[in-house]
Amino acid sequence: MTTSSPRLSVLDLVPLPSGQSSAQAVNDAVALAQHVEALGYHRYWIAEHHNMQSLVSSAPELLIAALSQRTTTLRLGAGGIMLPNHSPLKVAELFRLLEALAPGRIDLGLGRAPGTDGRTALALRRSREALEADDFESQLAELLAFGGNLSAGGFPAGHPFRSITAAPYDQPLPPLWLLSSSGHGASVAAEIGGGLAFAAHINPDLALAAQSIRHYRAAFRPSGQFAQPQVIVAQSVIVADSDSEAERLALPLGLMFLRLMRGESAPFASVEEAAAHPYTPAERAQIDSMGRSGRFVAGSPQTVKARLDRVLELTGADELMIGSLMHDPADRQKSYDLLAQLYPQREGRSAAD
């Protein structure tokens, strides 16, 4: 990889296309991971989402485990685990075990959002008090203490959890990445010496992204996992041979966003189903505004490169993490093929590169 070509990685929400089974969607994710691994992509992260018929990513740790047995060089991780939904001890146990399955290839991305609607978040967290608690930092400190391999260094004497071991005890907690779409995560990542992943597909404000990343780099405290700051910027991208073809393939993504805003849930539509949907003028305007804002980028290789080059110029990101939600797995693979041609990767990269 040259200095002018950033690392490329994948963020997969594991879409469930209409007319297909979740089993097939998982098989397609495995096939995509193997495909991008051969192209030299660096990471493959699975997002955590709940109560969505269009996605099969409710348990990223299970998909990571499956992928660990079908790949050899890709770094695999969660992008991310929504920590308030889980016990820090359980997260430490899960990711230590994943580290045993794929030593040196696991990442733990952490977010503070629920990854779902409020009612489902309540079902996950089991109490109104837990739902309304603003205790991400204390949960993170607990996770670090169970991990025992960052600055926290375990629980202090007298702590009720001091005698608890997150098994398997002989495996380290994988490198921690903080997800951010508002800037708060950048401060936390700098403080603990973790990596920073800015979600430009959620918040396309590149000025905010650049400001957050500058703060993170300036305030970064080296840790046992990261000697220097590392920045990923995530972007939703669909690449095709022409702008018109990419815009056509992006129709189901626009419909998914629209349904999310309306509180509806359905399998991920085909291009034909999305094209036939009876949109109101206001709904069409909503979808158009998402594209103009940069929530997703759909276009020819030239169009997409212009946008991504701008992202790199403004943010100075070390790595681009690309999510491509499409109905047809073959179209998804081609999109990642075209992207790799724009930013050539070194094929056969080792996990340590």
Q: Are 25 and 15 spatial neighbours (Cβ–Cβ below 8 Å)?
A: yes
Residue 139 pLDDT grade (very low, low, confident, very high; cuts 50, 70, 90): very high
Q: Describe the crossing of helices 136-147 and 88-101 by its angle, rounded to 10 degrees.
A: 40
Q: Between these two residues, 128 and 322, which has the higher pLDDT value?
A: 322
User: Per residue in 23-46, pLDDT tens?
Assistant: 999 999 999 999 999 999 999 999
Element (H, E) at 14: none
Residue 256's pLDDT is 94
- What is the spatial distance between Cα 23 and Cα 18, in angstroms, rounded to a whole number? 13
Query: Which structural domains are found in the chain, ordered by start?
Result: 7-246+298-342 (3.20.20.30)
For range 256-271, the mean pLDDT:
91
Least confident stretch, 40-49, 132-141, 181-190: 132-141
Total-model pTM: 0.92
For range 78-102, the mean pLDDT:
95
Least confident stretch, 76-85, 114-123, 159-168, 224-233: 114-123
User: Per residue in 210-245, pLDDT tens?
Assistant: 999 999 999 999 999 999 999 999 999 999 999 999
When mean pLDDT is compared over 20-34, 156-170, 286-300, the highest value belongs to 20-34
Residue 332 corresponds to which amino acid? R
pLDDT at 151 over 60: no
Q: Are 238 and 297 spatial neighbours (Cβ–Cβ below 8 Å)?
A: yes
- What is the spatial distance between Cα 74 and Cα 28, in angstroms, rounded to a whole number? 16
Residue 316's pLDDT is 96
3-state secondary structure 44-110: EEECCCCCCCCECCCCHHHHHHHHHCCCCCCEEEEEEEEHHHCCHHHHHHHHHHHHHHCCCCEEEEE
pLDDT at 82 over 80: yes
Residue 130 corresponds to which amino acid? A
Residue 221 corresponds to which amino acid? R
User: Per residue in 104-132, pLDDT tens?
Assistant: 999 999 998 876 777 777 887 777 776 66
Hey, what are 157's tokens? 């004497």
Residue 118's pLDDT is 75
Cis amide bond preceding 168, omega within 30: yes
Residue 2 pLDDT grade (very low, low, confident, very high; cuts 50, 70, 90): very low
Q: DSSP code of 238?
A: E
